[in-house]
Amino acid sequence: MKNLKKLLILGAGKMGGSLLKGLIDNTELDFDIVVVEPHLNRDNADLIKKNKIKHYDSIQNIKDPDFDLILFAVKPQVIEEVCNDVLENLIQRKTFSIISILAGIKAKTFEGHFENSQVIRSMPNLAASVGSAITALYANESTDKLLKAVADKIFSGVGEVIWVDNEDIMDVITATSGSGPAYYFFLTECLSFVAQELGLNPIDADKLSRQVAIGSSDIMKDSNDSLSNLREKVTSKGGTTEAALEVLMSPDKEFFNIFKRAVNKAYKKSKELSN
Ligand SMILES: NC(=O)c1ccc[n+]([C@@H]2O[C@H](COP(=O)([O-])OP(=O)(O)OC[C@H]3O[C@@H](n4cnc5c(N)ncnc54)[C@H](OP(=O)(O)O)[C@@H]3O)[C@@H](O)[C@H]2O)c1
């Protein structure tokens, strides 16, 4: 990427660290990377050391403060402070190419600090840590094709990418794929608890329920069938799966409605946080 060479990553925690790893492994991108992170965890410290990446514990301590692209990966609570630190300590200009992964922080927050900047808002999920994320990307009006292509490549390095052209949809993304892994972990936990109640020991129940989730994910990954087709394929007439699905898919939609309430609550919370 010719014109976007020098990349500053602000925050190398869980998500910033996963993206850093994805960037290092990504042969299509060749950035000079600088990382600012006050408390590097061991894995990220090893990653930075091994790949000879420049690291500073604060924006104030950066030695060569000139960057083409800034990736914001701090917690939303500190964004005002971090934007002010960027303006006070980086090269004397106000316009940057920006990619943010912050939940609930709108593009206009960055536009307010860095006038005329190109801003891409992203919502990855925790599966970025294993290269299996789904990331939604939204670009503000100033964003050019180059930054879009770069963002696409960065997040393709840690999983799949979709683009949205309405920023409000980011709240839907947050409630579904951002929080989504926790829903699957909970369903897996439930399966394990029920197996234990029915007599399986806790270790095997845990192993079994995890592998059911992994196996089902692998099938979904490899298949072009619709989700309802996949379900129907494992549901034999008069069998055990059908018996369970009669409860899960009861005519009053009890299970679906509980699930819908949960995701809607996450959606409402995401909207509250963005406002
Ligand atoms: N985790 C997810 O599944 C997920 C999914 C989608 C989006 N996100 C978004 O990703 C962002 C980061 O989340 P995370 O889970 O990676 O959190 P995290 O692990 O806490 O990482 C944030 C890191 O930023 C560091 N930091 C604080 N102030 C800083 C500063 N002034 N300059 C540079 N670094 C600073 C923090 O250090 P200290 O701990 O020392 O404060 C921390 O290590 C959040 O905005 C979140 O909304 C996360």
Write out pLDDT tens, residues 5-36.
899 999 999 999 999 999 999 888 889 999 99
Kindly tell me the burial class for residue 22, based on how many C-beta atoms sit within 10 Å of its own C-beta (0-12, 13-18, 19 or more). buried
Residue 52's SS3 state is: coil
CA 17 to ligand 1 center in whole angstroms: 9
Give every CB contact of residue 100 below 8 A, 6+ residues apart in sequence.
71, 72, 107, 110, 119, 120, 121, 122
CA 230 to ligand 1 center in whole angstroms: 37
CA 15 to ligand 1 center in whole angstroms: 7
12 and 143 in a common domain: yes
Kindly tell me the burial class for residue 153, based on how many C-beta atoms sit within 10 Å of its own C-beta (0-12, 13-18, 19 or more). middle
Phi, psi of 73 (to 5 degrees): -135, 35
Residue 40 lies in a domain: yes
pLDDT of residue 96: 84
pLDDT of residue 92: 63
CA 14 to ligand 1 center in whole angstroms: 7
204 and 107 in a common domain: no
Query: CATH number of the domain that 58 lies in?
Result: 3.40.50.720
CA 62 to ligand 1 center in whole angstroms: 19
Substitution site in 19, 74, 171 for ligand 1 pocket (most atoms within 8 Å of beta carbon): 74
Enclosing domain of residue 51: 6-165
Residue nearest atom 18 of ligand 1, based on CA coordinates: 13
Ligand 1: list residues with CB < 6 Å: 10-11, 13-16, 36-39, 59, 73-76, 78, 82, 101-103, 123-126, 178
Residue nearest atom 28 of ligand 1, based on CA coordinates: 74
Substitution site in 58, 75, 179 for ligand 1 pocket (most atoms within 8 Å of beta carbon): 75
What angle, rounded to 10 degrees, do the helices at 180-197 and 202-222 form?
140
CA 1 to ligand 1 center in whole angstroms: 26
pLDDT of residue 2: 53
> Looking at 102, 130, 165, which one is the last position of a domain?
165
Measure the CA–CA gap between 239 and 230, rounded to whole angstroms: 16
Q: In the block, which residue shows the tokens 């790949």?
A: 51
Closest CA to 125 of 57, 185, 80, 83: 185
Q: What sign has the CA pseudo-torsion 108, 132, 216, 203?
A: negative
Per the structure block, which two tokens stand in for 92? Answer: 């004397």
pLDDT of residue 274: 84
Residue 35 lies in a domain: yes
Q: In the block, which residue shows the tokens 């809607």?
A: 264
Residue 171 vs residues 74, 164, 229: alpha-carbon distances, Å = 19, 11, 29
191 and 159 in a common domain: no
Residue 251 lies in a domain: yes
CA 195 to ligand 1 center in whole angstroms: 36
From the alpha carbon of 79, which atom of ligand 1 is closest? 31
Query: CATH number of the domain that 223 lies in?
Result: 1.10.3730.10
Is-above-0.85 flag for pTM? yes
**Residue type for position 266:** A
Per the structure block, which two tokens stand in for 235? Answer: 């549901």
Kindly tell me the burial class for residue 77, based on how many C-beta atoms sit within 10 Å of its own C-beta (0-12, 13-18, 19 or more). exposed
Residue 227 lies in a domain: yes
Residue 268 lies in a domain: yes
Residue 70's SS3 state is: strand
User: In the chain, which residues have pLDDT < 70?
Assistant: 1-2, 91-94
Kindly tell me the burial class for residue 257, based on how many C-beta atoms sit within 10 Å of its own C-beta (0-12, 13-18, 19 or more). exposed
Phi, psi of 44 (to 5 degrees): -70, -35
Which residues is 160 bridged to in the sheet?
Answer: 134
pLDDT of residue 4: 83
Q: What sign has the CA pseudo-torsion 128, 159, 122, 216?
A: negative
